[in-house]
Amino acid sequence: MTDGELVRRARNGERQAYDQLILRHQPVALSLAIRIVGDRERGLELTQEAVLHAYLSLDRLRKPDSFRAWLCAIVVNLCKNYLRRPRVETLSLELLSGGRSFDSLPFPDSAPQPHQAAEARETHQLILAAIAQLSPPNRDAVLLYYFEQLSVRETAALLQISVPAVKGRLHKSRRKLRAQLRPAFAEWQPRPAVSQQTRSNQMIPVTVLDIVVPDPEKEPRILVLTEESRRRLLAIWIGPFEADDIALNLLGKKLHRPITFSFMASLLDKAGVLIESVSVSALEKDTFYATVHARRGEESFTIDARPSDAIALALRTQSPIFAAAEVMEAVAFDVPADMEVAQGKGLSDVLRIDPAEKERRIKEMEKWESMSPEERSEESRKKLLAHLTEAGTLSQYGESENG
């Protein structure tokens, strides 16, 4: 049976026909994906994604006999999009939403754990299944915009509709997907405001003991707090920028220009706002929440904050830091009896630069210094234009109109 006949049967709802198509052409598609991305597991994931894309978009295939070439084209586009993604480690939503408890995230290994990979695949399939239930017009818009990473204008050109129509379909799709996926992602529901949360009246003074970098190749770091007796430790996962600021402060290093938290401290001082204290005030579903207690004249007020931001600001303003008693009781752990705390050990590692990265920077600076001012200006201009073009901010005249 030819590919064209199998495509026509698959369009009529015969799932076995599509399965036969995939059995026939998936090996070629997988081999192509592996050659492009250079990794078998990643190639397999991208091929599976391409198979789903092809199934969801089967009605758009103009030449049914060209299914193999069409599937391979989808694979190539997905692989290119994957390779264009920044290879830097990004912060997770957990870390962006607030400090995480020490037990809520695994201590990083050099490779992802099997259960993490399984969870990621399960989440990916869950989202794709939800997209498959959208109406065909909305599904096409979502796949092109979010999965193929096309711009709104490019999506409109391919679908032969207006830009406002694309935006309308995306808006409706997001609303439907949000409602459908909300039960599966209950932990991301909006949490109560500060005034509605239960805050402890009993606060324990704590100090910053250390910043730990579990894996130099990954971003998340661990802020370690200790109480006055220095026999209990409270560990919180935080992001790298706040960790670096805290480490700089504890090491007594000063920069020539003010960075974020020193600027914030100066701004508050000029505005007459006094930071009286900050506290790690609550722990909800493995996420820590902090409260900043401030005063301006006779007026006292509190502000909700992430622990990392609050503590970095407290160090800059030399304000006391506290932790709620129930938070300490829930997640703080004891220092072993045969060990003692030596403050400051390991902080210099936070600011350490990898030797290979340091060598790369030195070579880059040597090349830069060897250029004339005109060459430097031209080099910078070219790189900026290349970035803007790749991001879609700039395009050739007539390119956007031609789709």
User: Token pair for residue 93?
Assistant: 């939503």
**Domain ranges in the chain?**
3-84+113-183, 203-351
CATH number of 203-351: 3.10.690.10
* pLDDT tens sequence across 174-230: 888 888 877 766 544 554 444 344 444 689 999 988 888 776 666 778 888 988 888
CB-based burial label for 105 (10 Å; 0-12, 13-18, 19+): middle
Choice between 280 and 350, residue whose per-residue pLDDT is larger: 280
Q: Which of 120-129, 234-243, 324-333 has the lowest mean pLDDT?
A: 120-129
pTM: predicted TM-score of the whole model, two decimal places: 0.47
| pLDDT band at residue 88 under the 50/70/90 scheme | very low
pLDDT at 296: 92
**Can you tell me which residue has the tokens 């099997």?**
114
Q: Nearest Cα to 222, choosing from 237, 209, 208? A: 237
Structure-model confidence comparison of residues 23 and 353, the more confident one: 23
Residue with tokens 């324990």: 204
- Do 282 and 300 meet the contact criterion of CB atoms below 8 Å apart? no
Of residues 198, 193, 226, the one with CA closest to residue 210: 226
Mean pLDDT for all residues in the chain: 78
Contact 293, 302 (CB under 8 A): yes
CATH 1.20.1530.20 fits 3-84+113-183, yes or no: no
Range ranked top by mean pLDDT from 103-107, 242-246, 309-313, 365-369: 309-313
Determine the pLDDT at residue 348: 45
Higher pLDDT, 302 or 178: 302
- Average pLDDT, integer, range 54-61: 84
Please tell me the predicted confidence (pLDDT) of residue 77.
85
Are 3-84+113-183 and 203-351 in the same CATH fold?
A: no
